[in-house]
A and B are shown apart, each in its own frame.
Chain A
Amino acid sequence: SAVISQKPSRDICQRGTSLTIQCQVDSQVTMMFWYRQQPGQSLTLIATANQGSEATYESGFVIDKFPISRPNLTFSTLTVSNMSPEDSSIYLCSVVRGGGTDTQYFGPGTRLTVL
């Protein structure tokens, strides 16, 4: 498995501001992803965080709104920019360790409320 931590665990923000969420893994992983889970909904993939290069975004998500960094094999950040109440969600990072296993593990999530 993988030990994944996210900071902050929750936050309440004002509209128009930005929040950066951090994801830290206990050891090197092959893949890192960012998902969004709106209240009572399923998980939706935002982007794949690529180490050393620009993230790969899914349809409906853009870099200007959700800039992502992945400076090394154990750490990634997701920024939610110019927030509106519609951005209120749980944001989760997930990792695939690789090495012959495709299992994807999720971090504890960051619960964001935008007022």
Chain B
Amino acid sequence: QQPVQSPQAVILREGEDAVINCSSSKALYSVHWYRQKHGEAPVFLMILLKGGEQKGHEKISASFNEKKQQSSLYLTASQLSYSGTYFCGTVANSGYALNFGKGTSLLVTP
């Protein structure tokens, strides 16, 4: 079953923060976050494994709440380069095949 992402779209001014959520009705093994710019392949951002860990990558971080089967991606002090569509991909067992959400379109304006 496809994970649910929210919001569908968000517009930010440069320097503002954003949170993108991804929730699943299934028990998850891992959550993967990607950013895709128009006409390009998805670029890996980070992976979170069950255990409720939080990871950081410069000004982008994420958390995984295993009890709620929900992950959140945090974008702080957004930059113009953050614009794109963000996808969460979930794995419901110990396999590798990803089930992607519908995506969140993020636009950062000057």
A interface residues (Cβ-Cβ under 8 A, vs B):
1, 30-31, 33, 41-45, 48, 58, 92, 94, 96, 102-109
Contacts and interface: CB of A to CB of B under 8 A. Distances in A.
22 contacts: A1-B44, A31-B96, A42-B87, A42-B103, A43-B87, A43-B89, A43-B98, A45-B98, A45-B99, A48-B96, A48-B97, A58-B97, A92-B41, A92-B42, A94-B98, A96-B96, A102-B30, A102-B47, A102-B96, A106-B34, A106-B41, A108-B41
Contacts, number: 53
Contacts of B91: 102
Nearest to B30: A102
Contacts of A58: 97
Interface residues of B, number: 22
Interface of B: 2, 30, 32, 34, 40-44, 47, 49, 87, 89, 91, 96-103
